[in-house]
Structure 1
């Protein structure tokens, strides 16, 4: 009788443990979904460098891979936009975002320049782990300082004339896509666009009440 009671108790204990574990996994998943849904819409501008609407400063640089001269701040290919993505060789989000940057830029017909800082050994390891395709890779603390970039990955989108059309911190595909969306919306950021629409909606509502 005692042995049967112990066995039954152990079975119930394990069942309770497994149920609790399943419950915790569900809670963790819901927290993750809530975090994604509450993330800011669009790339967030956190720098104080050249503003949207201004023409980008020009930098004479060279690619890290083969010392190819590169004029950053103007179109690399005539008629095409350029996405300057500030990254870091030890930044895990930057590495995870690279295929997304490549995919979005290809869909939008834009050239990509990855701008980084650090030691040569770090960059060689990064490029071994994450082989590039059409992207240019530049090591230049000067460009980051000129744009006053303090966090990475940070994107700056230039149009074919070198005018800054959008910029901001990019942690997800949504953030990268939002840089290109600003061109179509004619606004410096999605936050500005939503704010403008909200203000216009309030004006319309007030006008309707007046009439």
Structure 2
């Protein structure tokens, strides 16, 4: 009986040590993968106004009243977010956008854009708690940016110049637009390409 207990304890300790070695090995592999996989920025489509060009200017009525000069020079940069009430990813990103705006409110305005029927959007705007933000409806605005998929974000600086744009599905992709602007780059992918080119050279 005693021999059986000793043997079972030895087997258990061997199993625990084997698991510990496996966890350490997996942790190392995760670290290697993290270094190899580049950060994924907003997926930039090669259509519409290009980064570095002047944004098209639209003077549009907001659902909350008043008008919004989208793309015009302003006191702060503008994050223009194209969404739809039926887009689940758009809805998921709304708290993220509000959080980013709260952190960047001194230098960034947030404008929501879509097209469609006003009653549907007015109800969605109220339900989503977007009353504090301009919300414009304009098919022409979407067409000028060649928006084919949602959610899509555009960063326009104070001078009305496009600083970043792309299809966004996560906080990281939205923040990549701001990061690229701060680094003076077209996109995060552009930064990674430059970094890889330097390492190769």
State the TM-score, normalized to the length of structure 2. 0.76
Between 1:119-128 and 1:136-145, the stretch displaced more is: 119-128
CA distance in 1: counterparts of 2:73 and 2:100, whole angstroms? 18
The DSSP-based 3-state class of the residue aligned with 1:45 is coil
CA contact (8 A) 1:47 1:150 kept: no
1:90 aligns with 2:89: no
What's the CA shift for 1:40? 6.5
Q: Give the match for residue 190 of structure 1.
A: 188
User: After the TM superposition, which residues 148-187 of structure 1 pair with which residues of structure 2 at under 5 Å, given as runs?
Assistant: 148-187=146-185
What's the CA shift for 1:95? 1.3
CA distance in 2: counterparts of 1:113 and 1:172, whole angstroms? 18
What's the CA shift for 1:75? 4.1
Q: Give the match for residue 44 of structure 2.
A: 45
What's the CA shift for 1:85? 0.5
Q: 1:69 to 1:87 in 2, by over 3 A?
A: same
CA distance in 1: counterparts of 2:174 and 2:96, whole angstroms? 8
| 1:148-193 C-alpha deviation (Å, 9 max, x unpaired) | 0111110000111111111111111001110100012211110111
What's the CA shift for 1:127? 1.6
2:121 pairs with one of 120, 123, 130: 123
Report the number of matched residues.
164
State the TM-score, normalized to the length of structure 1. 0.73
What's the CA shift for 1:39? 9.7
Which structure 1 residue ranges, 4+ long, deviate > 6 Å from structure 2?
37-40
The runs of 5 or more residues in structure 1 that have no matched partner are: 1-36, 204-211
| 1:29-70 C-alpha deviation (Å, 9 max, x unpaired) | xxxxxxxx889611011250000000111111110222x122
